[in-house]
Amino acid sequence: MKKYLSVMIALLFTTGLAACSEKPEKSSTQEPKEVTVDDVINTFQEEGLDAEEPRKMTKDDYGLAPMKAEEAKIVLLPSVCEDCGGRIFSFDNEEDLQQTKAYYDEMGKESAILFSWTLKKDNILVQLNGDLPEEKYNEYKKALESIKAK
């Protein structure tokens, strides 16, 4: 129990520091993203994979996770369970994407109940409910990898 409490305190501290950091102003000459959140959702749906009722994530949806995504949406995975879901994030830099991916991956290492699947492609991070069978996870992975950059 002490180890779990220590991990949670460390996560709260790290998340608090991340929340206090300022994002630099965006340049109006910034290149468009290669892949969008909607591209991912559409591809999943076209491949017959759950990505139902997409909605924009709010600060409450992030919980303790870093809130650094350029855009993020939650989707439902009703074939896993009624309220099981996933998150699809787009980032404007690799560092923020890797920090968010590490957050979800480390949570799963600390406790099986917190396990989730993560997938990365270019500027996109997908986090899926850990109850999703590995065979289905591999289908999401294949679909994500099939998306062609614009």
Residue 28 lies in a domain: no
* Alpha-carbon span 1 to 60, nearest angstrom: 26
Q: Give the range of the structural domain holding residue 101, as residue numbers without chain letter.
A: 34-145
Residue 124 lies in a domain: yes
Backbone torsions φ then ψ of 27, nearest 5 degrees: -80, 140
pLDDT score at 80: 94
Residue 10 has pLDDT above 70, yes or no: no
Question: ∠ CA 50-32-58 to the nearest 5 degrees?
Answer: 50
What is the value of pTM for the model shown? Answer: 0.77
Q: How many beta carbons lie within 10 A of that of residue 14, not counting itself?
A: 14
Residue 106 lies in a domain: yes
- Per-residue pLDDT of 67-117, as tens digits, reads 999 999 999 999 999 999 999 999 999 999 999 999 999 999 998 999 999
- Are 66 and 101 a contacting pair, CB within 8 Å? no
Stated as kind and residue range, the H or E segment containing 74 is strand 71-76
Residue 10 lies in a domain: no
Residue 46 lies in a domain: yes
Residue 133 lies in a domain: yes
Residue 38 lies in a domain: yes
Residue 52 lies in a domain: yes
